[in-house]
Amino acid sequence: MHQLEPIPEGVRQALNAHGITDAQIKLCAAGDMTTEGNFAEAWLVATEQELCILTGVKAVVPKDKRFGRKQVAEQWQEVSYRTVALSAIEEVKAQSLNGNGLLVITIGEQAEVACRYSNTMARKFGQFARLLNKLRKGEQLTEKDFTAEVYQPQCPTCGRLYPNPTRRVCPRCLDKRKLFMRVLSFMPRYKKQVIQILLCMFAGSLLQILSPYVNNRVFFDEVLNPAGKYAGRIFSAVLVMGAIQLVSIAASIAHGRINAELTARVVFDLKTSVFQAMQRLSLSFFTSKETGSLMTRVNSDATHLQYFFHDGFPYFIVNAINLIGIITVMLMMHWQLTLLVLLPTPLIVLCVTKAFPKLWNAFSRRWRHNSALNSLVNDALTGIRVVKAFGKEDTERERFMQRNTKVYQVNMQVGHIQAVLFPVMGLIMGAGRPIVLSIGGWQVISGEITIGTLMTFLSYLSMLYGPLEFMTHIVDWWSSCMNAAGRIFEILDATPDVAERKDPVRLPNLSGHIELNDVSFGYEPNKTVLENIALEIKPGEMLGVLGYSGAGKSTLVNLISRLYDVQEGCIKIDGVDVRDIAVADLRAQIGMVLQDTYLFAGTIMENVAYAKPGATIEEIIRACKVARAHDFIIKLPNGYDTLIGHRGQNLSGGERQRLAIARAILHNPRILILDEATASVDTETERGIQEGLESLVKGRTTIAIAHRLSTLRNADRLLVIDKGKVVETGTHEDLIKLQGHYFKMLEKQRNALKIRGVEVSEHQLAGRAG
Amino acid sequence: MSTNLPDALAEYAEIVFLAPEKCKFSMTAGGFLALEYGEDKFPVVSAYRSFPLTLGDKYISIRDDKEKEIGIIVDLADFSSDQANLVRAELERRYFTPVVETVVKMKEEFGYIYWEVITDRGPRRFTSRGQHDSIVPVSDTRILILDVDGNRFDVPDVRLLDAKSAKLLESLM
């Protein structure tokens, strides 16, 4: 039996009661809304003969008593049931509205809503509609129709929706302890340093604990006391004290040095792996996140971890040893007094568990606001030309002020909380001292303990609260570090949507035959950009793709070059599904020239050679000549050595474009994609580049997207896309005869030229006559 | 040849404002909106808001089944209440945006926010991306929450929520 998702027991019983047996069910899917727009469950179940629409009440949220009566949460209760004969249905369509979607069935002339669903279900119902149409036409559904994974949007442990459907990791169920262990797992690579550090720490702690004992107990009771063991040997005692101090300091210096080296190394490794992981990810990961937030992740989160490694974790161990050591020694010296001194400890714990979450919340808010501020600065600086061009400096300053004010406010909040929290903690912790002084003092007078013991005790007491206070901080350290680690691991773990198969097909020599079978795709679940595209491009053919903006032209080439994966249907190159081809082979043989050329900071030479690092100088110059870039490069004072800055701002749009074309020529791909490659070039320059392009296009499969119809003068065939569908295809002459979309576009461009006072013939416009 | 800018661009520049007296909206048996406009009959039309957040009843674009604009309704208030309600029902279906009445739980972890809310359309759990990506401040007191799937939830006035819900939301604003 095939279906889109498993049927829960209650629904199965309801279906059985209506005479639908499990064996009859061919297809089923659950929606989450009634047609009136209330959240409830509705099942669409199709047999070979009919479509059953079953709605019922079952709260989407289980078991919380604030969500209503318990039995509602647990039991499926049927509300309505109706069936429609499949033979009566003319068409099934998943229609996406802005806030939700409708599954519309057309019976006779009448369209009606079979099911309404939230955007969460949009993709599932798109698939449902497609399969139901097949079923309706009497076609059998096969395994292949269900190759897409069973829709599973929720974490099985906690029932939370996955924040990222492509990454089946539930951050909520992600074990923080595991995270911590994983952070620590960066450490074993540096075994030697870790062992050295541990030795230093042990030595340091031991001496630290020893020193008050020698300084007070031994000095007062054994040296100054005439009856003592070392009576009168003041000089030796001071010498021992000094030696302890010196060794202790030496250990601490060694520890600090090794530690600094280690943490810097760990953070270095961490940043490297994060950056590597980011490069590995698919385009969709980057478009869904703001660049500013990504930069914060690499930099600030890694720094957070550095703090933890440097200031947090080692001191945690030192303090833990100190704490245990001190308490042990205190207990040995005077256990009753020790227990009394430790009385306020539960209060401290209470303080940490109750008051600290507030502080953490504020910290995380501070991170968010800072991140938002960073994005804004990033935006404003990247778009500085637009800001200046419209004279909007004041507006930008205003926007900055707004976000900066928020950062200021949240900083103040953090400060306020800290200002209250820490002194109160200090007060609670200070409560031990009067206890020791009063009870201990009385015991000294009565001769129960020596003055040395009391002094030692007071020293230990002051040493005890340091680590204790630190331990309360460590929770905060831990928490913010784990948050940072979580974000970093999210990137490290994110699986690219466009992943290479385990044993990919190697195709080092493509012929360039491209085939698209029923390809559908959308960047967002509720918006299809391309719908059922079928297309074949022969090796060496040049296909011109036309359409209004937003028609899906660029998406088409993004899919062919596999920057994204198709959601339905498949794309084959040389008869092999692109998802099966080794990514390296694919990238090596597909070249793209885009409208918005990105030039990296570096010389012109380096930028052209980007696609082929080993290229000889002759090859590079030849490529530039073909791209009509050589002449302008030669005229630059630094020629090919000219440094181009961020986005090549010291070059004109046309010049940058020509460099991009040179890059593609050098790359020498089997399949060439020109996405508005000459859009930012004036007609005159275009004519120049055109010759370059012509020689580039020769002998390769080329897909050229253009607004300007004259750009496509050499295309063997034209394809017109409108609203994600292929509406026309054929040669220039074919499409003129058709008098459809292409004809209209041609007319419009001619009108536009007329406005400029240019008279053109139809052939000139399409560039056929040269 | 003479140049004539208005002619060439006329079809883009012209706005058809639908006259209330010429419009006759009706509901098909299948629950879709139909329109008779003067002589023209449109068996199925759809309605879009130009300003879904700020001017819900104004500048409504009415489109035919090919999504070509028939015209714009300047203000639904100019229509009889029956007619206006038909259009409003269609709009509400398109811009389905449950109104959050109570925030039961809201927890942020690892840059995602997990919600449990009670809306005017029933209880709902959802996940949204971090605050910056998912909370759209419409005004000082109104926010729109977008979840990871693109569903929208409206909080028309944070001040009108119960204290606990308001407190949870305020930490995001």
First and final CA of chain A: distance in angstroms? Answer: 61
Q: How far is CA A652 from CA A334, A655, A658, B172, in A?
A: 83, 5, 10, 44
Higher pLDDT, A312 or A648: A312
Q: What is the largest CA-CA distance in chain A?
A: 122
**Average pLDDT value over all residues in chain A:** 79
CB contact under 8 A, A100 and B96: yes
d(CA A425, CA A521): 58
Residue numbers in B near A35 (CB within 8 A): 31
In 3D space, the residue among A91, A59, A63, A99 whose CA is nearest the CA of residue A76 turns out to be: A59
Residue numbers in B near A528 (CB within 8 A): none
The DSSP secondary-structure symbol of A187 reads S
Q: Would the pLDDT of B37 be above 80? A: yes
d(CA A631, CA A621): 10
Comparing A65-69, A133-137, A338-342, A731-735, the range with the smallest average pLDDT is A65-69
CB contact under 8 A, A100 and B29: no
- Angle among Cα A68, A73, A77 to the nearest 5 degrees reads 110
Higher pLDDT, A578 or A679: A578
d(CA A51, CA A56): 16
- What is the H or E stretch that residue A623 is in? helix A617-626
The DSSP secondary-structure symbol of A154 reads B
CB contact under 8 A, A161 and B148: yes
Where do the domains of chain B lie?
5-94, 100-170
CB contact under 8 A, A67 and B118: yes
Residue numbers in B near A372 (CB within 8 A): 132
Residue numbers in A near B118 (CB within 8 A): 66-67
What is the least distance, in Å, from the CA of A387 to any CA of chain B? 22
- Angle among Cα A519, A524, A525 to the nearest 5 degrees reads 75
pLDDT band (50, 70, 90) for residue B88: very high
pLDDT of residue A160: 60
What is the least distance, in Å, from the CA of B114 to any CA of chain A? 8
CB contact under 8 A, A99 and B96: yes
Q: Which of A64, A487, A754 sits opposite B111 (nearest CB)?
A: A487
What is the least distance, in Å, from the CA of A119 to any CA of chain B? 6
Q: Would the pLDDT of A68 be above 50? A: no
CB contact under 8 A, A111 and B30: yes
- Look up the ipTM and state it: 0.87
pLDDT band (50, 70, 90) for residue A243: very high
d(CA A90, CA A110): 9
As assigned by CATH, the class of the B100-170 domain is mainly beta
Residue numbers in A near B119 (CB within 8 A): 39
pLDDT of residue A146: 65
Residue of A755, A756, A761 to mutate for B, most B C-beta atoms under 10 A: A755
Length of chain A: 770
pLDDT band (50, 70, 90) for residue A63: very low
Q: In the block, which residue shows the tokens 């496509």? A: A712
Q: How far is CA A152 from CA A45, A118, A159, in A?
A: 18, 15, 10
pLDDT of residue A70: 41
d(CA A389, CA A371): 27
What is the least distance, in Å, from the CA of B128 to any CA of chain A? 7
Residue numbers in B near A755 (CB within 8 A): 3-5, 8
What is the least distance, in Å, from the CA of A424 to any CA of chain B? 25
Q: What is the largest CA-CA distance in chain B?
A: 71
Give the range with max mean pLDDT: A300-309, A585-594, A625-634, B75-84: B75-84
Q: Which of A98, A160, A372 sits opposite B94 (nearest CB)?
A: A98
Q: Which of B3, B130, B150 sits opposite A754 (nearest CB)?
A: B3
Residue numbers in B near A40 (CB within 8 A): 122
Quick one: how far is CA A395 from the chain centroid? 30
Radius of gyration of chain A (CA): 36
CB contact under 8 A, B131 and A164: no
B45 beta partners: B33
| Span A198-214, pLDDT tens digits | 888 888 888 888 888 88
The 3 state secondary structure assigned to A515-582 is EEEEEEECCECCECCEEEEEEEECCCCEEEEECCCCCCHHHHHHHHCCCCCCCEEEEEECCEEHHHEC
pLDDT band (50, 70, 90) for residue A65: very low
How many pairs of residues across A and B have Cβ atoms under 8 Å apart? Answer: 142
CB contact under 8 A, B118 and A66: yes
CB contact under 8 A, A37 and B121: yes
Buried b (16+ CB within 10 A) or exposed e, A433-465: eeebeebbeebbeeeebbbbbbbbbbbbbebbb
Structure tokens at B117: 């809310």
Q: Which of A162, A171, A757 sits opposite B3 (nearest CB)?
A: A757
Q: Which of A113, A174, A361 sits opposite B30 (nearest CB)?
A: A113
Domains recognised in chain A with CATH numbers: 9-146 (2.30.29.30), 179-343+431-493 (1.20.1560.10), 514-730 (3.40.50.300)
| Nearest chain A residue (CA) to B28 | A110
pLDDT band (50, 70, 90) for residue B98: very high
Q: Would the pLDDT of A234 be above 50? A: yes
CB contact under 8 A, B30 and A112: yes
Length of chain B: 173
What's the mean pLDDT in A363-370? Answer: 81
d(CA A762, CA B8): 17
pLDDT of residue A60: 45
